[in-house]
Amino acid sequence: MVVSYIIGGIGNQMFQYAAGRALALTNDQSLLLDLSDFTGYRLHHGFELSRVFSLVATKAEPSTTHELLGWRENYLARKILRRRQFSWLRGEKFVVEPHFNYWPDIVNVNGDCYLYGYWQSERYFKAFEAIIRQDFIFREPLQEQNAELALDMATKQAVSLHIRRGDYVSDSKNHNIMSVCDLEYYRLAINYIATQVEQPVFYLFSDDMAWVKQSLPMEFPCVYVEHNSGAESYKDMQLMSLCRHHIIANSSFSWWGAWLNAKPEKIVIAPKHWFRNGNDDADLIPDEWIRL
């Protein structure tokens, strides 16, 4: 069996699930999800995968995780063992993502294991893309205002544009890790789209729409999508996936909004700088996407 540790917002959960699913398929094993750290978790909206998508999420029971990891199951032990200097204590079954970019030695992982990391690269699951896309079919069809937007998008050269601020600005820990995409990036991306797409219509998504309206004047037709909030926030991703082209933020949320669009002719623009802390993001963006 493959046990995948799941934590974070929906975008991070999707990467962790996809990497675990691909490894389980490679080795003809079952996939279990360790959701134990969502107990008392106050960030984002908790575990969302089984509520949002059509996938089957099988929870790893504490007894299963303990049998697999032994003393390493302890929360503090896992936090310590992820540090490189303690790698010799991990054993063979506790598999820690060694760095942010793609780790090619994952292909050598077989047998029962526990995946601990973010695994933010399409390369971890590219071989099973069709299955991952099936797993990430949204469970519920769009209704009311969202359904009207979806119909509108289908008749236009719809371009999703995502501005992520929120905890990137307000949380000091995140601010030290994540860059905030500046206005120049969005201007360059909008202008690039305008040279490639006839009569584009931009659909703007953000967790700080008041700032967007004040700071990013639009010279092209645009729609501000600002009614999906709380537990319904994932519907912004669902709408993003229906657009023809995408301008994403340095956010796994809009990364997946763009990736879930399976149109081969799509244009996806991503920021050249994803992190401010020096993480290597070379494998984060698929080769056919454009970085500005």
The verdict on 149 and 105 lying in the same domain is no
The verdict on 126 and 236 lying in the same domain is no
Percent residues over pLDDT 90 in the chain: 76
37 pLDDT band (50/70/90 cuts)?
Answer: confident
Neighbours of 277 (CB within 10 A): 9
Neighbours of 243 (CB within 10 A): 26
What's the confidence (pLDDT) of residue 170? Answer: 44
Least confident of 70-79, 108-117, 226-235: 70-79
The verdict on 129 and 183 lying in the same domain is no
Least confident of 118-127, 160-169, 212-221: 160-169
The verdict on 131 and 36 lying in the same domain is yes
Q: Please give the tally of structural domains in the chain.
A: 2
What's the confidence (pLDDT) of residue 81? Answer: 83
Domain range for 11 = 2-135
The verdict on 124 and 213 lying in the same domain is no
Average pLDDT over residues 136-146: 97
- Residue 229's SS3 state is coil
pTM here is 0.93
The verdict on 155 and 43 lying in the same domain is no
* CATH for 277: 3.40.50.11350
The verdict on 129 and 184 lying in the same domain is no
Among the listed residues 76, 269, 111, the one whose alpha carbon sits nearest the alpha carbon of residue 187: 269
pLDDT in tens, 153-195: 999 999 999 998 765 554 445 444 557 788 999 999 999 999 9
> Which of the two residues, 215 and 89, has the higher pLDDT score?
215
- Tell me the pLDDT of the chain averaged across its residues: 91
Alpha helices in 43-160 (DSSP H): 49-52, 62-69, 75-81, 129-135, 144-154
Residue 286 pLDDT > 60, yes or no? yes
Average pLDDT over residues 278-292: 90
Q: Which residues of 26-46 are buried (b: 16+ CB within 10 A; e: fewer)?
A: beebebbbbbbebeeeeebee
The verdict on 229 and 283 lying in the same domain is yes
Q: Which of 94, 114, 135 is the last residue of a domain?
A: 135
Compute φ and ψ for 220, nearest 5 degrees. Answer: -120, 160
Q: Which of 135, 165, 198 is the last residue of a domain?
A: 135
269: part of which helix (H) or strand (E)?
A: strand 268-270
Q: Which of 104, 135, 166 is the last residue of a domain?
A: 135
pLDDT in tens, 45-90: 889 999 999 999 999 999 999 999 988 888 888 888 888 887 778 8
The verdict on 122 and 156 lying in the same domain is no
